[in-house]
Amino acid sequence: MLIGIDGSRAFLKQRTGIEEYSYQVIKHLRDKLPNAEVVLYLRRDQAVNFDLPADWRIKFIRFPYLWTQAGLSLEMILHPAAVLFVPAHTVPLKHPENTVVTIHGLEYEFCPEAYSFWAKKYMRWSIKNSCRWAKTIISVSENTKKDLIKLYGVPEEKIRVIHEGYDRNFQFPPPAGGSNFQSNHNDKISKPYLLFVGRLEERKNIAGIIRTFEILKEKYQIPHQLVLAGKPGFGYEKINQKLQTTNYKKDIFLPGFVTDEKKWELLKNADAFLFPTFYEGFGIPVLEAQSVGVPVVASSNSSLEEVCDHSAVMVDPNEPEEIAERTNVLLSDKFYQNDIIKRGYENVKRFSWEKCAQEVAEILTEK
């Protein structure tokens, strides 16, 4: 059986959520498809940075534009796969009957102001058709499954929920010590600090996090800095305006997109991880923070309640006063803080890329 896998999103140099999912699932599928020939479809400038099994091969699709809808479609016409797995929600126009697609979330439907007009139009067209064309839809959460059924009328029997995993990084133990870090602006990031990791865009509620930080400084006089790690996204102009006008500009650090090593250093030394976003299809950074003993403050919306399962401080992302009050309690009440950390350690045991890939492999090899 020939299984084709769209690897176009997995091997980007700077991976965020969907790219990380694609990368980790492909990496962990390597020993889970023993009786299949696998073709990994890549863009012409991409490279795989791990070893592939003997029965796996790479096919470069050399279309600079319309890579999926033209390039991958043509490949499916000329050299069709028995099964096509698309880990990043865009099924090509021409595809095998047995196509499996992962849908990560419908953020653009719930936070339309955080996307450009054309981005919303394309994503709605792409995901609606992907759901229609695919034989099986993998949803990364029960919440996304409900959204697909409610908003797009997807038949429930087509959807299989498989939770994402997180990268277990054993190089860094839980917090112990006070390391200093260097930002891109040659400023010292030093403990104590609060941390956000992700794309700096409207949907992630970065302006709300900054306002929360202002309240924490003004009302509760916390000594912390705020670190916002990630590359700019849609709506960054408004975020930057907020950054330029805040009275606490000198205490807010933007190291930009960070390497895995820097990310784990930042995570393990943070006093709290702030993730009060407006919508998440899953929320891998929450698990990464919990895995190194950092208490999480997250939104009580979308999939985050499902992912956190009473192991984080849950807040309304639209209420900076509430977020600040709950965060201050977390920082000042050590008993409560330790309880949240303990719950976080237990919570992450439910998730792994190994488990995720195994469940994906079972779908890909179903008769």
Domain contains 175? no
In the chain, the amino acid numbered 232 is: P
pLDDT value of residue 176: 41
Are residue 360 and residue 341 in the same domain, yes or no? no
Are residue 186 and residue 319 in the same domain, yes or no? yes
One DSSP character per residue, 282-347 reads S-HHHHHHHHTT--EEEESSTTHHHHHTTSSEEE-TT-HHHHHHHHHHHHH-HHHHHHHHHHHHHH
Asked if 219 and 186 count as a contact pair (C-beta separation under 8 A), the reply is no
pLDDT value of residue 16: 78
Are residue 220 and residue 147 in the same domain, yes or no? no
pLDDT value of residue 181: 41
312-to-268, 287, 318 alpha-carbon distances in Å? 16, 10, 17
Q: How many domains does the chain have?
A: 2
Of 80, 67, 70, 27, nearest in space to 49 by CA: 27
Nearest 10 degrees: CA dihedral of 129, 131, 133, 137? 150
Residue with tokens 């600079």: 64
Helix (H) or strand (E) holding 254: strand 252-256
Are residue 109 and residue 137 in the same domain, yes or no? yes
Are residue 156 and residue 99 in the same domain, yes or no? yes
Residue 334 burial by Cβ neighbours in a 10 Å radius (0-12, 13-18, 19+)? exposed
pLDDT value of residue 182: 41
Domain contains 218? yes
Are residue 36 and residue 67 in the same domain, yes or no? yes
User: What CATH number did the domain enclosing 118 receive?
Assistant: 3.40.50.2000
pLDDT value of residue 159: 98
Domain that holds residue 291: 180-348
DSSP count for the chain of H helices, then E strands: 13, 15
pLDDT value of residue 241: 93
Q: Count CA atoms closer than 13 A to 351's CA, side-chain side.
A: 31
Domain contains 60? yes
Are residue 318 and residue 337 in the same domain, yes or no? yes
Are residue 358 and residue 324 in the same domain, yes or no? no
What are the pLDDT tens digits along the chain (367 aa)?
A: 999 999 999 998 878 789 999 999 999 999 999 989 999 999 999 999 999 999 999 999 999 899 999 999 999 999 999 999 999 999 999 999 999 999 999 999 998 988 889 999 999 999 999 999 999 999 999 999 999 999 999 999 999 999 999 987 655 444 444 334 444 443 578 889 999 999 999 999 999 999 999 999 999 999 999 999 999 988 899 999 999 999 999 999 999 999 989 999 999 999 999 999 999 999 999 999 999 999 999 999 999 999 999 999 999 999 999 999 999 999 999 999 999 999 999 999 999 999 999 999 999 999 7
Are residue 328 and residue 203 in the same domain, yes or no? yes
Are residue 113 and residue 244 in the same domain, yes or no? no
In the chain, the amino acid numbered 121 is: K
Are residue 236 and residue 282 in the same domain, yes or no? yes
Of 176, 261, 185, nearest in space to 227 by CA: 185
pLDDT value of residue 14: 79
Per the structure block, which two tokens stand in for 113? 């102001």
pLDDT value of residue 179: 39
Are residue 134 and residue 87 in the same domain, yes or no? yes
Q: Kindly report whether the global pTM for this prediction surpasses the value 0.85.
A: yes
